[in-house]
Every structure is written in structure tokens, then in C-alpha cells.
A = this chain, B = another copy of it.
Amino acid sequence: MASFMEKLESASLDNRSLLCVGLDPDPRQMPVSDLFEFNRAIIDATADLVCAYKPNLSFYEAQGIPGLEALKRTVEYIHSTAARVPVIGDAKRGELGPSAESYAKAMFDVWGFDAITANAWGGRESLQPFFDREDKGVFVWCRSSNNGAGDIQDLPVATRDGQRPVFELLAEMALGWNGNGNVGLVIGATYPLEMKKVRDGCPDMPFLIPGVGAQGGALEESVRCGANSDGRMAIVSSSRGVLYASGGSDYAQAARQAALVLREQMNAVLEQEGKGWS
């Protein structure tokens, strides 16, 4: 079976896309009531336009067992009908010892994700069971797109090179944790200059960039600052802007249209920089 990194590269190239669609079904906004049916329509409408899908687990857990059954069916559906497209479980898990091992089992063996997001608060050893799964991707949550994220992430750490924010040091640590070549970073779209700095330090890692659209992130800047020198390895994620482009029965067509626009806007940036797909 292809590793996450292989799947990511081939889906990006096949679909000429840096776009990831966040599968965050919210009953308050969905025009249909069934989570899986909603996701299936979105997937059918966008599978040729994306480099990845990213279900955020909170939306499924909020619906209890039926929600988690819908999550399982959704991942299986992508693996069977859009098998080239990797699925990133946006779980932000982080735990210690046997609990960390249990989460690795849950994320990769139970839910079947190709990659996950993880929270590094517990340090390297808390994520090691994830890193050890060489064929899976692990996106370490580094810098958020919310305004208040700086409470911890921006604390100024005293270093030999002067004061540096915690998230920059975490990005450096993640480089050292990447012995299997399967580590990436989550970097919010609302801070492109910070993203650029982290990209300079981590030239080859995949960056998962949420916050495009509803959270006000700058799409073009995310591509410019987040992609690597070849214009690749940026996974720019949009959820609400695609899923709820229409609140009516045409929601799947509207989602496709929104995804097309996002993909083309990003590809235009790549073209400008001489890093297009052809």
C-alpha cells in the first residue's frame, strides 16, 4: 500500500491541486441530515480537485456513536472510490505511554487514516508511536490560525540566539523527529510571514494549512509562503467555504464550484512563480 507521502504527491500531481477539503459536517449548516450522505456527495463532487481530505474528529464525536459510524464509512468510502486521495484525520491527539500507543492504533488501524494531526505538548515521546508508523503522516500542530493561539505558541523563549517564540522551536524539534520522513506541520493561514520563516527552516516538510476562507486566511499568501521551492508540499485546507457554499439542494455542485475556484486561485500563484503543474 502506498505511504501517505506517496499518496499526497500523486494526488497533488494527478489533480493538479494543493487543495484539501475539510470534511467537517455540522448539522446546524448541513442541508441534509445524514453525515455520511453529506460527505459522500461532497466527495463525489470534489475527488478530482483535491490533494487530500481532512475530517476533523470533533464533528463526528459530537454526534456520538452514529457520528463515529459516519466517520468510519466516510474514510472507507474515500479509500474505495477516491483511492488516490489520502485522508488526514484532524484529531490533534497527544498522550503518554500506553495511551499514546492506543491513539496510534485508533487513528491508523481503527479509523484508517493515512495521516493525522497531533499535539506535541507532551514532547517527542508522546508522539513517537505516531512517528513509528513510517507509512503514515504526522502533522504536528505548530502555529494556529486563531488570534488567541499566541497564549502558549508565542511565548518568548530565551535561546542563545535571543528570544524566539515557542512555535519556532517546536518546528525545529519536529525536524529532528523526522527520521522516518513522515512528519509535517500544521501552520495557520493567517500568519503568512511566520509561515515563511518556518518554511525556510523546514524546506521539505509538508505543511497543512487550515484557516483558508471562513477563518480569513490569505489564500495566495499561503501558497507563496507555505509551498516548498518546487511549489509543492503545501496542503491548503478549506472546510466551511466549500461544504456550505450553498445551503440548498445544490450544495454538492456549489461545493465543486467553490473547490474549483480555490484550486485555480492557488494554481495561478504557482504559475506566476513558474512552479505550475505542467
Contact = CB atoms under 8 A, between A and B. Distances in A.
A148 B121 contact: no
Contacts of A106: 58, 61-62, 64
A72 interface: yes
Contacts of A120: 121, 151-152
| Max count, chain B CB within 10 A of own CB: residue among A61, A125, A126, A173 | A61
A81 B155 CA distance: 46
Contacts of A267: none
Interface string A159-182: 000010010011001000000000
A65 B60 CA distance: 12
Given A106-B61, A110-B61, A146-B97, A151 B124 contact: yes
B125 A146 contact: yes
Tell me what chain A mostly uses at the interface: helix, strand, loop, or mixed: helix
Interface in A20-79: 24, 26, 56, 58-59, 61-65, 68-69, 72
A140 to B, nearest CB: 10
Interface residues of A, number: 59
Contacts of A124: 148, 151
A58 B102 contact: yes
A145 interface: yes
A38 to B, nearest CB: 15
A96 B65 contact: no
A20 to B, nearest CB: 15
B61 A65 contact: no
Contacts of A92: 93-95, 119
Contact of A152 (B62, B93, B121): B121
Contacts of A103: 58, 61-62
Interface in A83-132: 90, 92-100, 102-103, 105-106, 109-110, 119-126
A157 interface: yes
Given A97-B215, A123-B151, 13 more contacts: A26-B98, A56-B99, A58-B102, A61-B110, A62-B102, A62-B103, A62-B109, A94-B119, A120-B152, A121-B152, A125-B148, A152-B166, A158-B163
Contacts of A170: 152
